[in-house]
Amino acid sequence: KNEVEQSPQNLTAQEGEFITINCSYSVGISALHWLQQHPGGGIVSLFMLSSGKKKHGRLIATINIQEKHSSLHITASHPRDSAVYICAVVEYGNKLVFGAGTILRVKS
Amino acid sequence: EAQVTQNPRYLITVTGKKLTVTCSQNMNHEYMSWYRQDPGLGLRQIYYSMNVEVTDKGDVPEGYKVSRKEKRNFPLILESPSPNQTSLYFCASSLSRTFEGAYEQYFGPGTRLTVT
């Protein structure tokens, strides 16, 4: 079993829909990252969380340390949000472990 | 502009021919690392460096070497590439010297390597 599980693996949405991507992990962590990888391959850091909730524009990330779960929400989705979204956890001992990613496609 | 650069972006080579992928950052970051990304396996760490002259193995170090002689540069060396090293490679850096992931990670644009 992978230490970091993301769901869904693939997601297709219509423009304007509210999107949720989930990340569950099985180990103790000190922080969690959400990353975005565009079709061209480049990876951008969206959020780094250790507790609670963060918001940036239409993106919201939450984390529940006790339940070992994080969610990434996209409000009013747009075709330019189409990308792979990757969850990565920072294990104690400072190791970064990545989920397999969620492929999001937003249709206009 | 704050950035991590990698070169080359694309490389096709043959088995056994030594190659180096360069990585450079202009943010004075102490921590740098190399990852490979393969379909279905996600990103896996190859090597990392906490500071100049300090490097350590990640999850998949076999077949790779690194060096950190200057703070800004962290080259990845494949002494004798093999087809199973065909992959997409990313260099990344962050501010922290102590906590690998507790600061924002900056990724390079990626290097797509094909070994025939």
Q: Give the mean pLDDT of chain A.
A: 92
Contact residues on chain B for A92, CB-CB shorter than 8 A = none
DSSP assignment, residue B87?
E
Enumerate residues 6+ apart whose C-beta is below 8 A from A93: none
C-alpha atoms less than 13 angstroms from C-alpha of A63 in its C-beta half-sphere: 20
| Pairwise CA distance, residues A70 & A96, whole Å | 16
> Cα–Cα–Cα angle for B2, B7, B9, nearest 5°?
100
Nearest chain B alpha carbon to A88:
B101
Query: What distance in Å separates residue B69's CA from the closest CA in chain A?
Result: 23
Nearest chain B alpha carbon to A4:
B42
Return the C-alpha torsion angle A55, A22, B94, A53, nearest 10.
30
Q: What's the confidence (pLDDT) of residue A78?
A: 97
Backbone phi and psi for residue B15, each to the nearest 5 degrees, phi listed first: -55, 130
Q: Has residue B4 got a pLDDT over 80? A: yes
pLDDT band at B97 (very low <50, low <70, confident <90, very high): low
Q: B interface mutation test: which of A96, A102, A103 has the most B CBs within 10 A?
A: A96
Return the C-alpha torsion angle B36, A41, A14, A45, nearest 10.
70
Would you call B47 an interface residue with chain A, using a CB distance cutoff of 8 Å? no
- What is the average per-residue pLDDT within B2-12? 95
Q: What's the confidence (pLDDT) of residue A76?
A: 96
How would you classify residue A55: left for phi > 0, otherwise alpha for psi between -120 and 50, otherwise beta?
beta
Contact residues on chain A for B105, CB-CB shorter than 8 A = 33, 35, 45, 88, 96
Q: In this structure, what token pair is assigned to residue A43? A: 């990876």
- Tell me if B100 and A94 make a contact (CB, 8 A cut-off): yes
Q: What's the confidence (pLDDT) of residue B1?
A: 85
Query: Mean pLDDT lowest for which of A7-16, A29-38, A75-84, A87-96?
Result: A87-96
Identify which of B62, B72, B74, B69 has the alpha carbon closest to the alpha carbon of residue B29.
B72
First to last CA, chain B: 36
Which residue shows structure tokens 């704050």?
B2
How many other CB atoms are there within 10 angstroms of residue A70's CB atom? 26
Q: Has residue B66 got a pLDDT over 90? A: yes
Q: What's the confidence (pLDDT) of residue B67?
A: 96
DSSP assignment, residue B73?
B
How many other CB atoms are there within 10 angstroms of residue B12's CB atom? 11
- What is the average per-residue pLDDT within A9-38? 94
Enumerate residues 6+ apart whose C-beta is below 8 A from B21: B6, B7, B8, B11, B75, B76, B78, B89, B91, B111, B113
